[in-house]
């Protein structure tokens, strides 16, 4: 046990500070505590060290980053880490000065500590992050022979038990079982999703509810969330981003693909999938468009009771499961969802995801530009967002590749605001082609679901009716 009451774990910390003295003091404090620590003076140097360590199979677990640095700020470094697939699982502690304004994105990407920092405070934060990280346990992950295979491969390749190697072996086991799909982390995590701030904050709170401190406090394990909303507004993207933010695997359950023509085999496939989920340990389970797979359970479908059996298996597992899986289910058409699935206790929260507000459209556009290695500051995001009233998030994001094609054809120049405005004029949004369906969804959400977005009061020029907010 450490002096702070936390069980010691071997973990590696990267200290990033442009001040040489501060950097040495922090590194010495961690080294004296028995923590493996290295230091970098710039964001670029930190990225190079982190990538090199990851390639050698000895990745850094935590980065302690000063927010104010020349060339690359702490926030920019945190965004670069979360955008790198090899580094996305690294946890970040951001150091800020007293009275310094802390951008909202910092709270989404990192733990935040204010300088001057007491040694005990820093160590408590690091040990808490290390304790909350998922560990490797043959009792909680896989069957004995499968765990032995994972450990053997890790020992042969690296002569030690390496979490990354064991994770790759878990992925191989899942692929062999053919009842689940393993999805790679989403580059950028929650920062890659524009808007939906209420939902993001809620997910961060739920993510902190894992680990021994939460159990000692008496918190129950989070169950999951149902995301209901308009197609193309970020439901599936949020599931991928959440697993990246939490640093745990994302497993997709395709209920339709598990159905079989043989009596009883569909239910057997489902139970097999649930057993694999329980064996994996802490993970995010993504059930996409759940209403399509379960619609026949209540509509009298002529499928020999297959849909009803699937519903029963799903409800039974959600009620009795013992593992740490967090379920994210998405739905576009709630009218066909079985009422048993929506009763209190199945999910921690039902969320409503409407068309993005003006500010959210700007956030989505900025994220799409960064994903295509373009500078959002070079574009009038406010003007483009105003021209996209009624667009879904995917329709807004689609403007960027359309504009890039036009810019490339025009002598390979940089993309301009005019290119995005022209692309926007060529799109007929879903809000026009499916206006009646969207209105029915909004009416259903009133009083039944929590809005995933924050009021767009700062955007006074946003057209009326374009926001995600609903009258609750």
If phi > 0 it is left, if psi is from -120 to 50 it is alpha, else beta; for residue 106 that is alpha
Asked, for residue 464, whether it belongs to a domain, the answer is no
Q: Which two tokens stand for residue 284?
A: 């995010």
Residue 420 included in any domain: yes
66 and 159 share one domain: no
The pLDDT value recorded for residue 5 is: 43
- Say if residue 273 is in the same domain as residue 289: yes
- For the stretch 270-302, pLDDT in tens is 777 787 777 777 788 898 888 876 765 555 554
Query: How do strand 250-252 and strand 181-183 relate by DSSP bridges?
Result: antiparallel
pLDDT (tens digit, 9 = 90+) per residue, 341-388?
787 778 889 999 999 999 889 988 998 898 888 999 999 999 999 999
Largest Cα–Cα separation, the chain? 73
- Spatial separation of the C-alpha atoms in residues 234 and 168, rounded to whole Å: 28
Q: Report yes or no on 72 lying in a domain.
A: yes
Indicate the average pLDDT of the chain: 77
At 441, is the secondary structure helix, strand, or coil? helix
Q: What is the pLDDT of residue 213?
A: 74
Contact 442, 354 (CB under 8 A): yes
Structural domain includes residue 466: no
The least confident of 156-165, 393-402, 406-415 is 156-165
464: confidence class by pLDDT, cuts 50, 70, 90: very low
- Whether 470 is in a domain gets the answer no
Same domain? For 219 and 240 the reply is yes
The residues pairing with 252 across neighbouring beta strands, listed in sequence order, are 181, 286
Q: Which domain holds residue 141?
A: 136-177
Residue 220 and residue 80 share a domain:
no
- H or E element at residue 451: strand 450-451
Per DSSP, the residues of 163-226 read: HHHHHHHHHHHHHHHTS-EEEPPPTTGGGGS-S-HHHHHHHHHHHTT-SHHHHHHTPPPP-EEE
Considering the domain architecture, whether residues 96 and 230 belong to the same structural domain is answered as no
Q: How many separate domains does the chain show?
A: 4
Q: Are 187 and 442 in contact (CB under 8 A)?
A: no
The radius of gyration of the chain's CA atoms, rounded to the nearest angstrom, is 24
What are 76-116's pLDDT values in tens digits? Answer: 888 888 877 778 778 889 888 877 777 777 766 778 788 87
pTM of the predicted model as reported, rounded to 2 decimal places: 0.62
Q: Is residue 82 part of a domain?
A: yes
Confidence of residue 325 (pLDDT cuts 50, 70, 90): confident
Residues 112 and 157 in one domain: no
Torsion angle in degrees (nearest 10) through CA of 215, 242, 103, 459: -130
CATH of the domain at 399: 1.10.8.60
272 & 307 share domain = yes
Question: Using CA atoms, how far apart are residues 408 and 414, in angstroms rounded to an integer?
Answer: 8
Highest mean pLDDT among 101-110, 141-150, 384-393: 384-393
HSE-CB of 116 using CA atoms within 13 angstroms: 4
The pLDDT tens digits of the residues spanning 237-280 come to 888 888 877 877 888 887 766 665 555 566 677 777 787 777 77
- Is the domain of 375 the same as that of 389? yes
């Amino acid at each position: 046990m450490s002096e702070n009451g936390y069980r010691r774990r071997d973990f590696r910390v990267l200290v990033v500070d442009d001040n040489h003295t501060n950097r040495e003091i922090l590194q010495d404090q961690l080294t004296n505590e028995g923590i493996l620590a290295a230091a970098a003076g710039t964001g670029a140097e930190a990225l190079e060290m982190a990538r090199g360590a990851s390639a050698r199979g000895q990745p850094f677990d935590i980065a302690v980053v000063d927010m104010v640095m020349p060339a690359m700020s702490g926030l920019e470094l945190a965004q670069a880490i979360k955008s790198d697939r090899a580094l996305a699982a690294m946890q970040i502690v951001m150091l800020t000065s007293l009275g310094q304004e802390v951008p909202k994105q910092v709270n989404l990407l990192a733990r935040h500590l204010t300088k001057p920092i007491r040694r005990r405070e820093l160590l408590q934060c690091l040990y808490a992050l290390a304790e909350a990280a998922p560990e490797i346990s043959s009792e909680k992950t896989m069957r004995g022979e499968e765990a032995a295979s994972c450990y053997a491969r890790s020992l042969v390749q690296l002569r030690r038990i390496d979490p990354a190697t064991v994770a790759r072996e878990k992925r191989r086991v899942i692929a062999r079982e053919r009842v689940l799909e393993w999805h790679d982390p989403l580059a950028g995590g929650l920062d890659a999703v524009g808007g939906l701030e209420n939902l993001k904050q809620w997910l961060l709170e739920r993510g902190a509810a894992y680990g021994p401190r939460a159990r000692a406090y008496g918190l129950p394990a989070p169950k999951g969330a149902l995301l209901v909303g308009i197609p193309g507004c970020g439901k599936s993207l949020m599931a991928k981003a959440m697993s990246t933010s939490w640093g745990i695997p994302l497993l997709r359950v395709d209920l339709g693909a598990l159905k079989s023509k043989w009596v009883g085999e569909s239910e057997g496939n489902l139970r097999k999938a649930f057993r694999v989920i329980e064996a994996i340990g802490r993970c995010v389970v993504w059930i996409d468009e759940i209403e399509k797979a379960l619609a026949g359970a209540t509509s009298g479908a002529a499928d020999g009771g297959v849909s009803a059996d699937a519903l029963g298996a799903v409800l039974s597992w959600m009620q009795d499961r013992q593992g740490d899986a967090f379920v994210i289910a998405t739905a576009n058409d709630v009218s066909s969802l079985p009422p048993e699935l929506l009763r209190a206790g199945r999910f921690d929260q039902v969320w409503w995801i409407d068309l993005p507000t003006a500010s959210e459209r700007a956030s989505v556009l900025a994220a799409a530009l960064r994903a295509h290695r373009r500078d959002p500051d070079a574009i009038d995001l406010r003007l483009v967002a105003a021209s996209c009233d009624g667009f879904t998030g995917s329709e807004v994001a689609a403007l960027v590749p359309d504009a890039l094609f036009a810019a490339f054809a025009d002598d390979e120049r940089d993309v301009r605001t005019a290119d995005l405005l022209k692309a926007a004029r060529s799109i007929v949004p879903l809000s026009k082609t499916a206006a009646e369906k969207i209105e029915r969804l909004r009416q259903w959400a009133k009083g039944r679901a929590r809005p995933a977005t924050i009021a767009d009061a700062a955007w006074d020029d946003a057209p009326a009716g374009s926001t995600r907010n609903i009258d609750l």
